[in-house]
Amino acid sequence: MKKIICFLIIVLLYLTIVPASGLRYNENKKIFSDFDFLTYDKSSSTSRIIVRIYYDEDIIIPKNSDILGGFPDEYVDILLYSSDLIDIEKQNISYSIIDYNYDYSATINAGIYHTFDEMEQILNDISDEYSEITRLFSLGKTYEDRDIWCLEITDNPGIDEDEPEVLFTGVHHAREWPTMEICLNIADELTSNYGVDENITNIIDNRRIWIVVCVNPDGYYYDHDLFSGNRWWRKNRFYFPEFGTYGVDLNRNYAGSSNGDDLGIWGSTGMSHNPSNELFCGLKQFSEVETRAIRDLIINNKICAVISWHTYGELVMWPWGYSTDNKTPDDQYLSQIGTEIALRMTNQDQDCCLKLDRYRRVDRYWD
Ligand SMILES: [Zn+2]
């Protein structure tokens, strides 16, 4: 249990429209870019917009809005109905509209992200083409009978060579589509450059890398593949007949802590025990097949570092996410790595990295 929490970095990216444009498998997918902003209807109570609100004191967020991300004491991005914008304007605070028609953009953008089936095909293609340095296997079946695929990349896959091991995970949360593309890109970058790039060759020869591209297959299928314009789903799709509700927030279903307590902070901070809430942590820790799959992968191997990708936000976070008072024994080391990650991340134009204040330990989970 201790290993699970020894080194986990959560990276949140502000990525609303980031396709896998650099990925060779995605050449036929286009970004839609000629949306007519003049069609924006400010009084609509059915179409939604994304607004960035800049603040330095308390603000009131309209009732039916969702907080997407932001940075504490600086700005917050919210999704709200156009007609509710007046509630922001009334407060006389500075804001800018960063998506004039979320539902329209989301509908268009759904097509530029891979489906679950396409992801499976890509993983199969990679493991066929680079069979000497990869091993593709399932960590288990989900509630709706989909595989939780894991791709191992190393010079002698399937063999424990006592090398440092690292795990990348994507799509804990169903609606965070770009995190699938990030993980596919990592897999593609590593495999296609083996024997080409000296650094990557060295990494594969001397490390064992695990990639779980889609931790939440059922949720992704429901939110992305069956996209109908307004799902905004976060959890998995486990059905609770006793409550008539679906899903557990997988990122709230883990447990463990530094003092060896199996339960750890499960169910205590930044989550809900209400099954219909989108932050529902499950009826007990590790109740879900998806979180057990990740736990067992870590326990059964020698994984010492995990990077979990999320959207959306502009944060690199490291443990403990639930407390500013308690620091991990490795706090200095984690800070150093988290800072390095942040400094190397560029925006879409690749002309700047995250601002210096965009990374730090935070006092609670944002994702
Ligand atoms: Zn997330």
Domain total of the chain: 2
Mean pLDDT of 90-105: 85
For residue 238, give both structure tokens: 């486990």
Q: Which ranges constitute the DSSP H helices of 7-136? A: 85-89, 102-110, 116-129
Compute the half-sphere exposure of residue 338: CA atoms within 13 Å on the CB side of its CA: 27
How far are the Cα atoms of 76, 106, 234, 249, 349 from residue 224, in angstroms, in the given order? Answer: 25, 10, 11, 17, 26
Neighbour-count burial for 152-179, b at 16+ CB within 10 Å, e otherwise: bbbbebeeeeebebbbbbbbbbbbbbbb
Q: Provide the domain limits for residue 61.
A: 48-100
**Residue 41 in domain:** no
Give the Å distance between the CA of 317 and the centre of ligand 1: 12
For residue 292, give both structure tokens: 């057990």
Mean pLDDT of 34-39: 44
Give the Å distance between the CA of 178 and the centre of ligand 1: 11
User: Do 55 and 174 belong together in one domain?
Assistant: no
Checking if the pLDDT of 150 tops 70, the result is yes
Residue 68: predicted pLDDT = 79
User: Do 264 and 307 belong together in one domain?
Assistant: yes
SS3 111: coil
Give the Å distance between the CA of 10 and the centre of ligand 1: 9
Give the Å distance between the CA of 9 and the centre of ligand 1: 12
**Residue 218 in domain:** yes
Of all residues in the chain, what percent are helix, strand and coil, respectively (each to 5)? Answer: 30, 20, 50
Give the Å distance between the CA of 279 and the centre of ligand 1: 11
User: Do 118 and 241 belong together in one domain?
Assistant: yes
Mean pLDDT of 79-100: 88
In angstroms, rounded to a whole number, what is the distance separating the alpha carbons of residues 281 and 278? Answer: 9
Give the Å distance between the CA of 266 and the centre of ligand 1: 17
- DSSP β-bridge partners for residue 65: none
Could you tell me the pTM of the whole model? 0.82
Contact present, 251 and 322 (Cβ < 8 Å): no
Give the Å distance between the CA of 339 and the centre of ligand 1: 20
**Residue 363 in domain:** no
Q: Which of 78, 100, 122 is the last residue of a domain?
A: 100
Give the Å distance between the CA of 161 and the centre of ligand 1: 33
Give the Å distance between the CA of 231 and the centre of ligand 1: 15
Give the Å distance between the CA of 113 and the centre of ligand 1: 17
User: Do 257 and 343 belong together in one domain?
Assistant: yes
In order, the DSSP letters of 20-48 are -TT-GGGTT--------GGG--TT-SSSE
Checking if the pLDDT of 352 tops 90, the result is no
Q: Which of 73, 100, 127 is the last residue of a domain?
A: 100
Higher pLDDT pick, 267 / 144: 144
Higher pLDDT pick, 249 / 56: 249
Higher pLDDT pick, 331 / 203: 203
Q: How far is C-alpha 273 from the geometric centre of its chain's CA atoms?
A: 22
Give the Å distance between the CA of 170 and the centre of ligand 1: 9
Give the Å distance between the CA of 180 and the centre of ligand 1: 12
Cβ neighbours for 332, distance < 8 A, ≥ 6 positions apart: none
Higher pLDDT pick, 107 / 160: 160
User: Do 20 and 54 belong together in one domain?
Assistant: no
**Residue 365 in domain:** no
**Residue 36 in domain:** no
Give the Å distance between the CA of 173 and the centre of ligand 1: 5
Least confident of 139-143, 186-190, 316-320: 316-320
Give the Å distance between the CA of 150 and the centre of ligand 1: 19
Q: Which of 38, 68, 100 is the last residue of a domain?
A: 100
Beta strands across the sheet bearing 165-169: 134-141, 147-153, 208-212, 165-169, 303-311, 8-13, 315-317
Give the Å distance between the CA of 264 and the centre of ligand 1: 20
Question: What pLDDT, in 10s, does the model give residues 186-218?
Answer: 999 999 999 999 999 999 999 999 999 999 999
Checking if the pLDDT of 31 tops 50, the result is no
User: Do 122 and 92 belong together in one domain?
Assistant: no
User: Do 189 and 230 belong together in one domain?
Assistant: yes
pLDDT grade, residue 15 (50/70/90)? Answer: very low
Checking if the pLDDT of 356 tops 60, the result is no
- DSSP β-bridge partners for residue 74: none
Q: How far is C-alpha 343 from the geometric centre of its chain's CA atoms?
A: 19
Amino acid at the residue 116? F
Give the Å distance between the CA of 156 and the centre of ligand 1: 32
Give the Å distance between the CA of 176 and the centre of ligand 1: 6
Least confident of 135-139, 260-264, 355-359: 355-359
Give the Å distance between the CA of 367 and the centre of ligand 1: 5
User: Do 173 and 261 belong together in one domain?
Assistant: yes
User: Do 174 and 292 belong together in one domain?
Assistant: yes
User: Do 56 and 19 belong together in one domain?
Assistant: no
**Residue 40 in domain:** no
**Residue 336 in domain:** yes
Give the Å distance between the CA of 80 and the centre of ligand 1: 19
User: Do 82 and 230 belong together in one domain?
Assistant: no
User: Do 169 and 305 belong together in one domain?
Assistant: yes
| Closest to 184 (Cα-Cα) out of 125, 226, 144, 129 | 125
In angstroms, rounded to a whole number, what is the distance separating the alpha carbons of residues 192 and 358? Answer: 32
Residue 363: predicted pLDDT = 31
Give the Å distance between the CA of 63 and the centre of ligand 1: 22
Least confident of 79-83, 94-98, 271-275, 358-362: 358-362
Determine the longest span between alpha carbons in the chain, in angstroms.
63
Give the Å distance between the CA of 123 and the centre of ligand 1: 22
Domain CATH number, residue 335: 3.40.630.10
Give the Å distance between the CA of 130 and the centre of ligand 1: 30
Least confident of 76-80, 202-206, 349-353: 349-353
Residue 276: predicted pLDDT = 95
Give the Å distance between the CA of 8 and the centre of ligand 1: 14
Give the Å distance between the CA of 311 and the centre of ligand 1: 6
**Residue 54 in domain:** yes
Give the Å distance between the CA of 196 and the centre of ligand 1: 34
